[in-house]
Structure 1
Amino acid sequence: MKITHIKLGKISVPLKTPFKTALRSVESIEDIIVEIHTDTGNIGYGEAPPTGVITGDTSLSIIGAIKTHIAPSIIGHNIENFEELMLKLHSSIVGNTSAKAAVDIALYDLYGQLYKAPVYKLLGGYRKNITTDITISVNDPDEMVADSIDAIKLGYETLKVKVGKDSKMDIKRLSAIRSAVGNNINIRIDANQGWKPKEAIRTLKQMEDLGLNLELVEQPVAAYDIEGMKLVTDNVNTPVLADESVFSERDALKILREKAADLINIKLMKTGGINKALKIISLAEIYDVECMIGCMLEAKVSVNAAVHLAMAKKIITKIDLDGPILCKSDPVIGGAIFDNSNISVEDQPGFGVQKVEGIKYI
């Protein structure tokens, strides 16, 4: 199975409601789709969201990286030589993790098709069903309470609540939500780097004193501030999850060695795809630190790949893969099945994607 050419396109998928965090507000998913074509007629699908405020990657940079650097390095090579393809992919250009992730996903898709096996089985095959949380965007407390109640009515048992814009208001938001949903619902909070270390400690201790019973806090401080994150980790009872601080296996190793966080969040768009994510997973297994698998605002092609990785590995114990659920429609035919909080896969070769509708080719 030899790579003959690569096609790029764009998809636009409106969200059910605006997605609001401490960093941005988004009303639709605007992603780049990658199709890797082969001499056997097989097509591998990948996807990359332009998430400039987190990864630094824009639509134009993703397209440029693939067209001018990545594609020339892998076209003409065989899928059978998978390790060589991964080396070529990751040495073709520095950074540009979203572009690399999209191509990595498409290559893993073809690798599964080559051996007629679903990717999750090739990577470990630990389980076949997972349960995701759902994101509650940062808004006025009353609106966040209403969104939380609506999610629970749909069967969600874990809420991921966005905070980080105003710590005093964040306490009011969480107090209102916990009062409304009761104590049997898991609540995770994500500050998206919105707090300073001392502010994070003060805010989290107040939340603890109020008995808000938070499962974890995600990225409470700036991504670069590993010392500050360790300060938070050492001074609160709520487990700290490192997200934007972890792009590479080197980042993960530093955090694990210094015990700067209690948990690691893996996102394919940060790592550059599954190949590098597996290295972070191996480190987490060595240090016996559980991982979350997360996503940016992505449609089902790339989230589908994260689903397979989550199903393959036991160390991934927390799931935050609600991207496709937040969309008004699903342009992807095949792949993982999203039934509100429950996600399952059928044993189709690769990632099981048959077609992506509405692609505007570039």
Structure 2
Amino acid sequence: MRIVEYRLHRFQFARDRVIGDSQVRIEHAHMATLELVTDTGLVGLGFIPSLFNALPSLAEIDRIFRVEVWPSLEGQAPAALVHRVRRPRGGNIRSTSLPFGEGIDQALWDLTAKQVNLPLWKLLGATRNRVKAYASGLDYHLSDDDFCALFEHARSIGYSAFKIKVGHPDIERDLHRLELLTKTVGKAEAIMIDANEGWSPQDAVRRLNIINKAGYDILWIEDPILRYDFEGLKMIRAGCPFTLVNSGEYFGASDKLRLIEARGTDMINVHGYITEVMRIGWIAAEQGIPVSLGNSFLEIGVNMAVALPEVEWLEYSFQNFDHLVEQPIEIRDGWAYAPERPGHGLVLSEAAKREHATPDVIASADLPRAPLNKRLPH
């Protein structure tokens, strides 16, 4: 089985709500999709998200892909590429001009699993088919009313664990949000908070102790300080034994390894890059460090989450991407279920290609609105 063709589609639309944290605010969605096609007719799908800025036109995306990426894929067997290790030396190892890497990785794994007619999670060695999901609001910029409505809905459909954004300059605002959350959802199985590097080490210790003394039992604090401050992270671990430090979100595999070796975190945060997640997951398992599966595009990360023994939680943040695929990942009663379909389980929607693809760049003021997330009340 060889890769003989590729297809790219570009999407750009207004989100159904503002998302963000103490550092960023995001109102629009920008992404492309990559389909790799084999000589046997199998199609592997990958996602190329751009979190903050619009991607160039489809014609330009295609030009860059054809020049920078396609020569290394054309005629290759997908299964021969997913485990390939290259020496990080010289100018031959470099990033592409656009963020193709994760999407290529996903499409290759999708094809590899389809070739042997297995769901990806089974190919990765999983012995379970579900993982606990927690409701993540990406809620920093929501009004109090919208904040409560989001988490009330999450509770009503079976979520028992919740993560909110903190890191406001005024600690009283963070305490206020925690009070609103607990009043809205009642007794939770777990509450997590995420400061997105908004604090210094000393400030983090002080604030976390204030939160703890106010009676809030926090399972983990995510990214409390600057990612490279390993000594500061260790200070927080020592000064706040009542909670876990969850870090590593912004790191690639090499720096995640350094973070683990430095003992700078209680948990390691991974996302949607399948090869990288599995490699880090194996290392974390050897070290006995729990892994949390953060936001991955359309919850593709459920495949890795059920395959890694250290993963207890998968993040779900109610983003309106479901219309892009024929069948989204099932999340029911606070559990995310790995699909039984061959491959990673996601297939690009023909309707999305026809009705929602945007080959040309659209000004923000003119962006269309995508269909609302059916997992939210309307």
TM-score, length-scaled by structure 2:
0.82
Q: CA deviation at 1:39?
A: 1.1
1:281 aligns with 2:275: no
**Whole-angstrom distance in 1 between the partners of 2:177 and 2:346:** 39
Equivalent residue for 2:245? 240
Equivalent residue for 2:352? 358
Equivalent residue for 2:363? none
Equivalent residue for 2:209? 205
| Seq. identity, % | 23
Aligned residue-pair number: 346
1:315 aligns with 2:314: no
Closer/same/farther in 2, CA of residues 146 and 350 from structure 1, 3 Å limit: closer
Deviates more, 1:338-347 or 1:152-161: 338-347
The answer on whether the counterparts of 1:11 and 1:358 sit within 8 Å (CA) in structure 2 is no
The answer on whether the counterparts of 2:12 and 2:358 sit within 8 Å (CA) in structure 1 is no
Task: Report which of the two has the higher share of helix.
Answer: 1
* Rg (Cα) greater in structure: 2
**Whole-angstrom distance in 2 between the partners of 1:28 and 1:77:** 36
Equivalent residue for 2:76? 77
Equivalent residue for 2:337? 344
Equivalent residue for 1:39? 39
**Whole-angstrom distance in 1 between the partners of 2:92 and 2:121:** 27
Which residue among 55, 74, 77 is the counterpart of 1:59? Answer: 55
**Whole-angstrom distance in 2 between the partners of 1:44 and 1:333:** 14
Equivalent residue for 1:330? 323
Aligned-pair Cα RMSD in Å: 2.9
Q: For 1:175, give the aligned amino acid.
A: E
Equivalent residue for 1:176? 180
Equivalent residue for 2:48? 48
1:259-278 to 2 correspondences below 5 Å: 259-268=263-272, 273-278=273-278
Equivalent residue for 1:111? 112
1:102-141 to 2 correspondences below 5 Å: 102-136=103-137, 137-138=139-140, 139-141=142-144
**SS of 1:224's equivalent?**
coil
Equivalent residue for 1:154? 157
1:209-228 to 2 correspondences below 5 Å: 209-228=213-232
The answer on whether the counterparts of 1:126 and 1:313 sit within 8 Å (CA) in structure 2 is no
Q: For 1:11, give the aligned amino acid.
A: F
Closer/same/farther in 2, CA of residues 85 and 4 from structure 1, 3 Å limit: farther
**Contiguous gaps of at least 5 residues in structure 2:** 360-378
Closer/same/farther in 2, CA of residues 14 and 135 from structure 1, 3 Å limit: farther
The answer on whether the counterparts of 2:161 and 2:188 sit within 8 Å (CA) in structure 1 is no
TM-score, length-scaled by structure 1:
0.85
Which residue among 193, 196, 216 is the counterpart of 1:192? Answer: 196
Deviates more, 1:83-92 or 1:346-355: 83-92
The answer on whether the counterparts of 2:12 and 2:54 sit within 8 Å (CA) in structure 1 is no
Q: CA deviation at 1:207?
A: 0.5
Q: For 2:166, give the aligned amino acid.
A: V
